[in-house]
């Protein structure tokens, strides 16, 4: 793919990604916010494909847009909040801090994009983003953090079962 085509395809994914991310923040209904987050996950997977990280793009869709969002939507619908319970929107101190942080992050990203356009492009390895390369790194260099994450998830599941059992 030529450089101009890559830029066009990037913006095809980037603009809906930005719009859906704003939808997550702006939506008053939590179900709408969660569905906007699903759209953001799909657009992010498209950006990963442009970066030739096909495994990460596949896992983004499978794990985040699939499993994690099903859990989020299940909890949101279990709460069954009505529009009256959501109350009137108001700007608290944390929202102002979040807005300032978003502006700061935007400035950092803009600066990084400008600097990236000035330097030479870095070449990636031939097997970058493949299952073989990720598996090799995961089970050699990053084995301890991988196992720590699996133990943490197991403890969280056991804790959720214990908390849920007390209510039953």
Q: pLDDT value at position 65? A: 83
| Token pair for 141 | 């260099």
Residue ranges of the domains in the chain?
Answer: 1-83, 127-168
Q: What is the pLDDT along the chain (168 residues), one digit of tens a residue?
A: 678 888 899 999 999 999 999 998 888 888 888 899 999 999 999 999 998 888 889 988 988 888 888 878 777 777 666 665 566 667 788 888 988 998 999 999 889 888 877 767 677 778 777 788 888 998 999 999 999 998 998 898 888 777 777 665
Cα dist from 5 to 1, 51, 110, whole Å? 6, 14, 21
State how far the Cα of 33 lies from the Cα of 137, in Å rounded to an integer. Answer: 35
Which has the closest alpha carbon to 95: 24, 30, 25? 25
Q: pLDDT value at position 39? A: 92
Which has the closest alpha carbon to 14: 50, 54, 55, 57? 50
Q: pLDDT value at position 131? A: 84
State how far the Cα of 59 lies from the Cα of 56, in Å rounded to an integer. Answer: 5
Q: pLDDT value at position 20? A: 93
State how far the Cα of 117 lies from the Cα of 109, in Å rounded to an integer. Answer: 12
What is the CATH architecture assignment of 1-83? Answer: Up-down Bundle (1.20)
DSSP state of 88: -
Q: pLDDT value at position 85? A: 58
Classify burial at 68, counting beta carbons within 10 Å of its beta carbon; exposed 0-12, middle 13-18, buried 19 or more. Answer: middle
State how far the Cα of 72 lies from the Cα of 49, in Å rounded to an integer. Answer: 25
- Let me know: does 138 contact 146? Beta carbons within 8 Å: yes
Q: Which residue in the block uniquely carries the two structure tokens 């985040």?
A: 64
């Amino acid at each position: 793919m030529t450089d101009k085509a890559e830029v066009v395809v990037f913006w095809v994914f980037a603009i809906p990604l930005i719009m859906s991310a704003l939808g997550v923040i702006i939506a008053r209904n939590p179900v709408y916010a969660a569905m906007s987050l699903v759209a953001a996950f799909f657009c992010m997977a498209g950006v990963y494909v442009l970066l030739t990280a096909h495994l990460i793009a596949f896992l983004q869709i499978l794990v985040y847009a699939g499993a994690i969002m099903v859990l989020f939507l299940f909890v949101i619908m279990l709460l069954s909040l009505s529009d009256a319970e959501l109350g009137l929107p108001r700007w608290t101190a944390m929202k102002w801090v979040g807005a300032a942080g978003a502006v700061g992050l935007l400035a950092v990203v803009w600066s990084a994009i400008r600097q990236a356009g000035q330097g030479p492009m870095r070449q990636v390895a031939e097997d970058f983003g493949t299952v073989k390369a990720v598996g090799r790194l995961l089970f050699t260099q990053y084995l301890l953090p991988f196992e720590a994450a699996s133990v943490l998830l197991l403890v969280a599941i056991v804790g959720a079962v214990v908390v849920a059992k007390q209510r039953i």
